[in-house]
Amino acid sequence: MRSPQRATIVDVAQAAGVSVSTVSRVIREHADVGSETRAKVRAAIAQLGYRPSPIARALVSGQTRLLGLLVADLTNPFYPQLAKSIEDEAGKVGYTVVICNTSDKVSEVRRHLTRLLAQGLDGVIHASVGKDETTVLSALGDRSRVIFTNRPPSSQSVSYVVSDNFSGALALTRHLLARGHRQIGFIGGPPYANNANERLRGFEVAMREMDETQAFVVHKEFGRESGSSAVSDWLDHGSSPSAIIANNDTVALGAMEELTRRGLRIPEDVAIAGFDGTDFSASPVIGLTTVDQHSDEMGRLAVRALLKQLGSGTFVLTRQLLPMELLLRRSTEGSGRSGMGSDAGRAATDIGPRTVPVDQSGTDIPFG
Amino acid sequence: MRSPQRATIVDVAQAAGVSVSTVSRVIREHADVGSETRAKVRAAIAQLGYRPSPIARALVSGQTRLLGLLVADLTNPFYPQLAKSIEDEAGKVGYTVVICNTSDKVSEVRRHLTRLLAQGLDGVIHASVGKDETTVLSALGDRSRVIFTNRPPSSQSVSYVVSDNFSGALALTRHLLARGHRQIGFIGGPPYANNANERLRGFEVAMREMDETQAFVVHKEFGRESGSSAVSDWLDHGSSPSAIIANNDTVALGAMEELTRRGLRIPEDVAIAGFDGTDFSASPVIGLTTVDQHSDEMGRLAVRALLKQLGSGTFVLTRQLLPMELLLRRSTEGSGRSGMGSDAGRAATDIGPRTVPVDQSGTDIPFG
DNA sequence: GTGAAAGCGCTAACAT
DNA sequence: ATGTTAGCGCTTTCAC
C-alpha cells in the first residue's frame, strides 16, 4: 500500500537519455529545445508519471504558490461566499489558499501570519480586523505581499479592494426615509472595522439630509447576539425606532430574533435591513433587505490585484471601491404576499460605481 | 521595503561559532547539546531573527504539515463549523489546513487532490462525496493518508469518523410518530451520500415499527432548492405529509420556504425537521428541529485519528460512530410562545453513544 | 540545442 | 557533545 517512490527529474532524464537540465527546460516550456528531444522527454515524463516536486521548486524559487486568507469569522456566511470566490480565482492560476479564522483579534492575525509565514506563503488577503496594517506589515515585511479586502485599511499606502460602504449605507438610509421612517436605529460595529465606520457615516449623512429625524446608534460586535442585544437596549430604554439598520446580515438576523421574541412584527412594527447580501437573507423565510457586497467580484479582484503585486518587481498600489447593490425584501417592504415568486427582492437599485484615483505615492487620504 | 534577506542556518552557525548540525540540533530540541552551546545558539537565533525554512525542511523530511480538507459545499453552514474545529485542532500541533470545495463531484475531488498533492500535502480529511475511496486512494496512493468524516466511505478498510446517522434518524422519526404524525415525507439525498442513506434507513425502520404509517420519499441534492422542489413534488401531486424530514438543515430551510410561499404554517400545517445542528437552525426566527452532528467533536477526532495514522509507521484503522443529539424546536413542537427564551430547543434528547469495534483487518462489514 | 555543476536551506548519518 | 558531509529535487549560470 505504500505509494510508489515518485519519479524524479533524474529518472526522467535517464529514461529519455538526456540531461536533467534538458528535462527541466521541457517542463518549464523553456526556450529552444529540439523538437525530437522534447518529444522524447515528454514521453518519458508521461510514461513514468513524473510530476515535478513543488517543494524542491519552492526551495530554489522561493515561491510556494500558497496564499493566506484571513477572515473574521467563517460562521458568518458572508465569508464562505468570499472565500469561495477567492479560491476559485486563485485555483485557476495554480495557487492554493489557506483560510484562517481570526475571530477579529489582532493577536490571532499575528499568530496565523507567523504560522503561514513559517509555511512559506507568498501573499495574504486580509478580510478581517482592519486598522492593523502595522501588525500585518511587520509580520510580512513587505506591503507588496498583502491586500486588504472587505474592510479598508486605515492607511492609504497599502492595497485594498473594498465596497463603497458609504454610498451603500447612504442609499439604504435614503430608501428607508423615503418610505416614511424617521426614527431609525443603527447597529454599528467595533471601532477597528472601517467598513462599519463607513456605513455609519453614510447613515448619518443621509439622516441629516432630512428634518425631524432621530437616529439611535449603538456599537456592537458582529454576532447574532449583537443584534438581539441592540434591540433589547433600545426597547428596554424607551427608544422605539420604526426601522433598524444592522451592520451586517448576521446582526440583522439577531435583531429579527429579538423582535420576534418580543412579539413585534417585521416589518409592520419594525422594519429591518442588513449589509453584505448573504445567501440566507434572500430566503423567503427570512426575507431580509440588504446591501449586497458582491463578494464574487470582490474576491476575484482582490486575488488579481495581489497576484499582480507579487509578480511585478515594482510594487503597484491598488485601491478599488466597488459599488454595492440595494436588495429590497420583505423586512422593509411590507408583507409581500406569499406567492411573490423566487425572484422577490431582486428588484434592485444599483448604486453607481465609484473609483478612487490611485496615485503611486500612497499618501494618506482619509476616506470619502 | 524589500524584506531583509532571511538569515539561514549557516549564518546562525557562524554567529554562534558552532557547526550547522549543532544549530539544527538546538532547533529541533534534539538530544544532548551542551547547555552553554545551546545558549549561544539560542542567542544567535534570537539576534538574527532566524526562522528555519519550512520548505527546506519539507524537502528533506518529505513532510509539509499541510492537510487538505475536502468539503461538499462551504456555503452550507455545517461545513464551516466543521472546518473551524478541524483547523483549530490541526493548528494546535502546527498543521495548516487547506479547505477545498468539491461541489460533491468526484471530478473535483480528483482535481483538488492532484493540486494538493502537487503542493506536497501530508494527509486529507474527506468530508464530501463518499463512495469514492477508489478515486481518493488512487490519487493518494496510501490509505494511511486519508480519513473520511461526515459521510462514511462504502468500504470498511479505510478510516472514518462519522455520526451514527441511523440512530439519529431513528430517534427523530420515533419522536415525530410519538407526536401523532403518520404521514411523513423524507427528503433523501443523492446515492453517493452514505450518511443520507443511513438516515433514510433509520427513518424507514422507525416507520415500520408503527402501523398505519405512510412514508413519502424523494431523493434530492443538498441545496435549498431541493427542499422547495420536494415540497412542490408532494403538494402538486396530492401527497400531503403532516411532517417532513429533510436530509440536512439547509434542505429543511428550503422546504420551509416553499411551505411558507404556499401559505402553510409551520408546524401547525406541516412540521419539519432537519439534520446537522447548524447554528442557524437554533435561531428563533427559524426554530428548526434538527439532529445535531456535533461538528466540533467530529472534527477534533478526525484530525487526531489522521495525525495518528500519519505518524505511526504501521497503519491503524480508525472507525468511529459518534452519537447524535435531537434538538427540538418550534418547527415540530408547536408555536412555543414568543417569550420562550434563548435556551429553547436545548431540551435535548441524547442518543446514546455507540462504537463499532475496530479490527485491524478491515473486512468489509456493511453498516448497521 | 544540450550538458555539467553549483547551489537553494535544511537533516541525518557518520565521524571524532 | 560537536563537526563533516552527503544529499533532498529542482533551477540556473556557464560551458560546449
H/E stretch holding B1 reads none
DSSP string, B30-50: -S---HHHHHHHHHHHHHHT-
Q: Locate cell 444599483: which residue?
A: A350
CB B168, CB B202: distance < 8 Å = yes
Chain A, nearest residue to B101 by Cα: A84
How far B208 CA lies from chain A's nearest CA (Å)? 33
Residues of A in contact with B2 (CB under 8 A): 142
Residue B355 has pLDDT above 80, yes or no: no
CA B54 vs. chain centroid, Å, equals 28
Residue B114 CB in 7 A reach of strand C: no
For residues B298 and B63, what is the distance between their CA atoms, to the nearest angstrom? 25
Over residues A72-115, the pLDDT tens digits come to 999 999 999 999 999 999 999 889 999 999 999 999 999 999 88
Q: Which nucleotides of C are covered by protein (CB under 7 A)?
A: 1-5, 7-13
A43 is written with which cell numbers? 514521453
CA B285 vs. chain centroid, Å, equals 26
- Tell if the CB–CB gap between B142 and A3 is shorter than 8 Å: yes
CB A124, CB A305: distance < 8 Å = no
Among all strands, which nt has the closest C1' to B25 (CA)? C11
For residues B361 and B228, what is the distance between their CA atoms, to the nearest angstrom? 44
For residues A284 and B258, what is the distance between their CA atoms, to the nearest angstrom? 8
For residues B128 and B252, what is the distance between their CA atoms, to the nearest angstrom? 19
CB A128, CB A151: distance < 8 Å = yes
For residues B292 and B276, what is the distance between their CA atoms, to the nearest angstrom? 5
- Mutation for A interface: B50, B51, B55, B88, most A CBs within 10 A: B55
Average pLDDT of the segment spanning B148-172: 96
For residues A155 and A10, what is the distance between their CA atoms, to the nearest angstrom? 50
For residues B346 and A338, what is the distance between their CA atoms, to the nearest angstrom? 31
Q: What is the pLDDT of residue A63?
A: 86
Cα–Cα separations (whole angstroms), residue B237 to A13, B205, B234, B268: 67, 25, 5, 21
Nearest to B285 among A1, A53, A253 (CB): A253
Chain B, nearest residue to A87 by Cα: B100
Helix axes B78-92, B295-311, angle to 10 degrees: 40
Average pLDDT of the segment spanning B232-244: 96
The pTM of the full predicted model, rounded to 2 decimals, is: 0.87
Distance from CA(A7) to C1'(C1), angstroms, rounded:
25
Q: What is the pLDDT of residue B142?
A: 85
- Mutation for A interface: B97, B115, B119, most A CBs within 10 A: B119
Q: What is the pLDDT of residue B114?
A: 86
Over residues B81-100, the pLDDT tens digits come to 999 999 999 999 889 999 99
Among all strands, which nt has the closest C1' to B57 (CA)? C10
Nearest residue to A87 (alpha-carbon basis) of B110, B124, B146, B71: B71
H/E stretch holding B253 reads helix B249-261
Residue B36 CB in 7 A reach of strand D: yes
Distance from CA(A349) to C1'(D9), angstroms, rounded:
56
Average pLDDT of the segment spanning B177-193: 97
Query: Which residues in chain A show pLDDT less than 50?
Result: 1-3, 336-348, 352-368
DSSP string, B306-362: HHHHHHSSS----EEEE--EEE--HHHH----TT--TTTT--EEE-----PPP-TT-
Q: Locate cell 500500500: which residue?
A: A1
Q: What is the pLDDT of residue B30?
A: 80
Over residues A133-164, the pLDDT tens digits come to 999 998 888 899 999 999 999 999 999 999 99
Q: What is the pLDDT of residue B314?
A: 78
Residue B201 has pLDDT above 60, yes or no: yes
Query: In the sheet that B271-276 helps form, which strands lie side by side, from edge to edge?
Result: B214-219, B183-188, B243-246, B271-276, B289-292, B325-327, B348-350
A338 touches chain B (CB under 8 A): yes
Length of chain A: 368
Cα–Cα separations (whole angstroms), residue B98 to A69, A106, B115: 11, 22, 11
For B355, other C-beta atoms within 10 Å of its C-beta total 11
Nearest residue to B247 (alpha-carbon basis) of B285, B209, B198: B198
Q: Kindly report the average pLDDT of chain B as a whole number.
A: 88
Q: Which nucleotides of D are covered by protein (CB under 7 A)?
A: 1-5, 7-13
Over residues B329-347, the pLDDT tens digits come to 999 997 543 333 344 444 4
For residues B303 and B149, what is the distance between their CA atoms, to the nearest angstrom? 10
B248 is written with which cell numbers? 440536512
Taking the C1' atom of C9, which residue's CA lies nearest? B56
Tell me the percentage of chain B whose pLDDT exceeds 90: 73
For residues A192 and A131, what is the distance between their CA atoms, to the nearest angstrom? 6
B280 touches chain A (CB under 8 A): yes
Residue B40 has pLDDT above 50, yes or no: yes
Chain B, nearest residue to A68 by Cα: B98
Q: Locate cell 538526456: which residue?
A: A18
Distance from CA(A31) to C1'(C1), angstroms, rounded:
10
In DSSP terms, B67 is beta-bridged to B97, B123
Q: What is the pLDDT of residue B347?
A: 43
Nearest to A283 among B53, B142, B253 (CB): B253
Among all strands, which nt has the closest C1' to B41 (CA)? D2
Residues 82-141 of A with CB under 8 A from B: 83-84, 87, 91, 94, 96-101, 115-120, 140-141
Helices and strands in chain A, H and E counts: 13, 13
Name residues 213-232 of chain B with a Cβ under 7 Å from nucleic strand C: none
